[in-house]
């Protein structure tokens, strides 16, 4: 959208349905032996007056004509009526059907009156038009088409043809600047997204592409996680992402949230009457996971936490100093007791009241910053609402949301300063007011802000949402869910090859957009002006990005032949180099930098103060001298890269034993003092009597040795040399060791070289 995102305020609302008051009419009851064809039933009070009968259908089906009935005072269940208000005697489970697709200036096939799960349609355009969107679409289990709306475009207008939604009618056929199109859904389908869109001068349509959804239908969990994380992660990104030619990149905006700028997060937890204890605990779990994840980003975050049912209560006030400490904020909800917040006379669902409480906190915050109004204007606001979509007190929440939008002045050019995500949670989506949910959700191009989830999926789906691996240049993020051989698990990995020598290979790591960290001996025969025969590649094997070497900066202390006079043919002390490359790397999901120790970015990753943390604090956290430290490196064998797990020997007893095995290397058999070849600048891995550790293969030199901390990875070493070249042997000897340059021992040089790319802490003199 071309708009820059500066900071954010997330409004996080967990809303759960409100129960009906129990009717104390005793003696009368309704027949509990009610059935539904193809499904089952549940009874809230065993058939007593006021009892709620719910029809339950298998996944992919919905109850018809109603999803629930109430036991009346006369001992009869409430009548079942269809959309034409006709009385229906027998309930049944019906399969979701996808609405008939339409396309202008083209055709689709096969043409049917309705489409069931698994049915596919294909689209073609008339001569002179090109097809945009999905060439074919398949009907999913939730009654939605996969892919995107197919349109036939002639390229003659300011904006492309927005297409006709499946199950809708469109008015408006002009697509010039300021022209409008409007949509209406048919057959009692609910419109989610923008019912009106305006063609902008930029050639984009305002608002969000709408869909026509069955009122019983739900979003697939994996789709919710994908759309939400793709959109929300843009708020956290420090720079624009690489736009790749695949469908996933159509989701989300190119945004920038600068380092040190503010993100205010308001979390509103619905504690209305019908929430069950397990659902309450799931909501708390998701809430604390969210707070924990947000603390990993280089953004100043303050939280406000509100619970509500009929009334609202502030749990964490964003105006208090504690609101900026994630550990404190995460602990407060954990202390909430289900019995205290859910029971009593607080069973209604007053979303308007909750939003009013947030509005008042926002007003107070603005007033408290009256002498810093420019700082207030730069705060970004994101509202996330989890609701049953059935407000029964306080009226529609839309006017209060309009008040918030007006207060934040987010119209026109400031619309990117407020995002409202709404999650409708339930077990029966007919009871969710989808139109109300949609009315308060943001409508932004190429993004989805309104979602509908089963309550039981909340915790798992929400944790999946928080795998924000699409955040581009934040260091040390990797897709932890992928298999070990997938490059997205180590997106900082670089490979160095030579055009003149097919047998040459080294490894490296991305540490900045124009710098690769590697081993100096990989460029032993390369002088300052002679780098053209070597090249560097990054990214996954099917989308490799080739980089040109501009210059190589070896550590000045490196001298491979420096101890020849002592009978030591190769001496790898200070075996480290930085390679400057061009063009600058455009970071994306599969290409991103790794964190370096003693930097501001790593302080944030370690959840430490950027101003009070020292380099010694980093070393104590990452390389404690108590025994061994779990670490990883990337090994290439049989043409495939794979992550390997090793242990860095840091303890007083483990380290000397590991280092002593260096003398078993063939080139050091005549060396008597191990300190002549292993200086304090080396880390040692490998070996083990019980479970032999992995060792590096030829060509792995220069690769990163790194440690996982929380959600991030920090490089602590550079692979230098190994005792034995037998990495693929089925049984490794216990004295097979690898040695790595310890980055903590060369920080002064790193800071000098990377001063314009990385923010280092003050280093000890």
Residues with active-site annotation: 521, 575, 701
Query: Which residues touch 666 (CB under 8 Å, ≥6 apart)?
Result: none
CA atoms of 312 and 350, how far apart (whole Å): 8
State both tokens at 667: 């080139």
Q: Quote the DSSP letter at residue 553.
A: E
Element (H, E) at 287: helix 277-294
- Quick one: the chain helix, strand, coil %, rounded to 5? 20, 30, 50
CB 396 within 8 Å of CB 436: yes
CA atoms of 589 and 569, how far apart (whole Å): 43
3-state SS, residue 199: strand
What are the strands of the beta sheet with 737-742, ordered from one edge?
640-649, 628-637, 704-709, 712-722, 737-742, 682-686
DSSP code string of 214-240: -TT----HHHHHHHHHHHHHHHH-SSP
By CB atoms closer than 10 A (0-12, 13-18, 19+), residue 63 is: buried
- Closest by CA to 673, choosing from 689, 657, 660, 687, is 660
Q: Quote the DSSP letter at residue 124.
A: E
Query: Which residues touch 259 (CB under 8 Å, ≥6 apart)?
Result: 238, 298, 299, 600
- Cα–Cα distance list, 315 to 98, 311, 362, 474, 684 (Å): 44, 13, 15, 31, 49
State both tokens at 670: 């005549």
CA atoms of 379 and 377, how far apart (whole Å): 6
Sign of the CA dihedral with 404 first, then 408, 412, and 418 last: negative
Residue found by looking up tokens 């596919």 in the block: 120
DSSP code string of 615-652: HHHHHHHHS-SSSEEEEEEEEEETTEEEEEEEEEE-ST
Q: Quote the DSSP letter at residue 298.
A: S
Biggest CA–CA distance in the chain, Å, is 106
State both tokens at 386: 């989890």
The phi, psi pair for 677, rounded to 5°, reads -120, -25
């Amino acid at each position: 959208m071309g708009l820059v995102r500066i900071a954010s305020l997330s409004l996080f609302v967990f809303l759960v349905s409100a129960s009906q008051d129990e009717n104390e009419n005793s003696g009368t009851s309704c027949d509990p032996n009610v059935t539904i064809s193809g499904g089952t039933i549940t009874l809230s009070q065993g058939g007593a007056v006021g009892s709620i009968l719910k029809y339950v259908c298998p996944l992919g089906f919905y109850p018809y004509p109603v999803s629930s009935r109430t036991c009346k005072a006369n001992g009869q269940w409430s009548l079942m009526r269809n959309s034409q208000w006709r009385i229906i005697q027998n309930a049944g489970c019906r399969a979701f059907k996808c609405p008939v697709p339409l396309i202008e200036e083209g055709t689709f096939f096969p043409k049917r009156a309705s489409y069931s799960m698994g049915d596919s349609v294909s689209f073609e355009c008339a001569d002179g038009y090109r097809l945009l969107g999905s060439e074919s679409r398949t009907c999913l289990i939730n009654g939605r088409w996969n892919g995107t709306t197919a349109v036939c475009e002639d390229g003659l207008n300011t904006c492309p043809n927005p297409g006709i939604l499946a199950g809708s009618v469109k008015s408006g056929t002009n697509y010039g600047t300021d022209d409008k199109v409007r949509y209406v859904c048919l057959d009692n389908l609910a419109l989610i997204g923008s019912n009106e869109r305006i063609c902008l001068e930029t050639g984009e349509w305002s608002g969000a592409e709408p869909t026509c959804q069955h009122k019983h239908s739900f979003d697939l969990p994996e789709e919710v996680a994908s759309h939400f994380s793709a959109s929300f992660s843009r708020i956290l990104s420090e720079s624009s992402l690489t736009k790749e030619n695949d469908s996933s990149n159509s989701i989300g905006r190119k945004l920038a949230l600068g380092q040190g700028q503010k993100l205010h997060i308001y979390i509103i937890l619905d504690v209305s009457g019908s929430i069950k204890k397990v659902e309450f605990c799931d909501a708390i779990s998701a809430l604390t996971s969210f707070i924990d994840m947000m603390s990993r980003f280089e953004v100043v975050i303050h939280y406000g936490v509100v619970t509500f049912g009929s009334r609202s209560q502030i749990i964490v006030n964003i105006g208090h100093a504690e609101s900026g400490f994630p550990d404190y904020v995460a602990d407060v909800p954990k202390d909430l007791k289900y019995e205290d917040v859910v029971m009593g006379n607080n069973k209604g669902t007053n979303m308007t009241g909750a939003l009013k409480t947030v509005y008042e906190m926002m007003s107070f915050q603005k007033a408290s910053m009256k002498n810093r109004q420019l700082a207030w204007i730069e705060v970004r606001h994101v509202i996330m609402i989890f609701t049953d979509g059935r407000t029964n007190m306080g009226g529609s929440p839309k006017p209060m949301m309009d008040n918030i939008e007006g207060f934040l002045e987010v119209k026109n050019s400031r619309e990117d300063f407020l995002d409202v995500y709404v999650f409708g949670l339930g077990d029966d989506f007919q009871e969710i007011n989808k139109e109300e949910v949609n009315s308060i959700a943001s409508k932004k191009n190429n993004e989805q802000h309104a979602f509908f989830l089963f309550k039981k999926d909340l915790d798992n789906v929400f944790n999946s949402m928080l795998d924000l691996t699409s955040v581009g240049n934040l260091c040390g993020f990797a897709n932890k869910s992928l298999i070990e051989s997938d490059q997205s698990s180590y997106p900082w990995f670089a490979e160095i090859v030579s055009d003149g020598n097919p047998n040459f290979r080294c490894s490296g790591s991305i540490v900045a957009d124009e710098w690769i960290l590697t081993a100096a001996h990989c460029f032993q025969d390369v002088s300052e002006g002679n780098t053209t025969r070597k090249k560097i590649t990054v990214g996954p094997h099917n989308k490799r990005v080739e980089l040109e070497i501009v210059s190589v900066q070896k550590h000045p202390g490196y001298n491979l032949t420096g101890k020849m006079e002592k009978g030591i043919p190769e001496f790898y002390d200070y075996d480290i180099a930085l390679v400057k490359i061009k063009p600058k790397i455009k970071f994306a999901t599969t290409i991103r930098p790794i964190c370096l120790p003693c930097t501001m970015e790593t302080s944030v990753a370690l959840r430490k103060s950027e101003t009070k943390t020292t380099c010694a604090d980093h070393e104590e956290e990452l390389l404690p001298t108590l025994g061994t430290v779990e670490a990883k490196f990337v090994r290439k064998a049989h043409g495939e890269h794979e992550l390997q797990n090793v242990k860095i020997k840091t303890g007083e007893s483990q380290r000397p034993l590991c280092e002593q095995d260096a003398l078993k290397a063939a080139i050091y058999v005549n060396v008597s003092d191990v300190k002549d070849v292993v200086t304090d600048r080396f880390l040692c891995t490998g070996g083990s009597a019980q479970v032999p550790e992995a060792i590096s293969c030829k060509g792995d030199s220069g690769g990163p040795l790194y440690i996982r901390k929380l959600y991030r990875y920090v490089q602590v070493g550079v692979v230098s040399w190994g005792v034995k070249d037998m990495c693929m042997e089925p049984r490794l000897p216990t004295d097979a060791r690898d040695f790595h340059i310890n980055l903590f021992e060369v920080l002064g040089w790193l800071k000098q070289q990377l001063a314009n790319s990385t923010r280092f802490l003050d280093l000890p003199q």
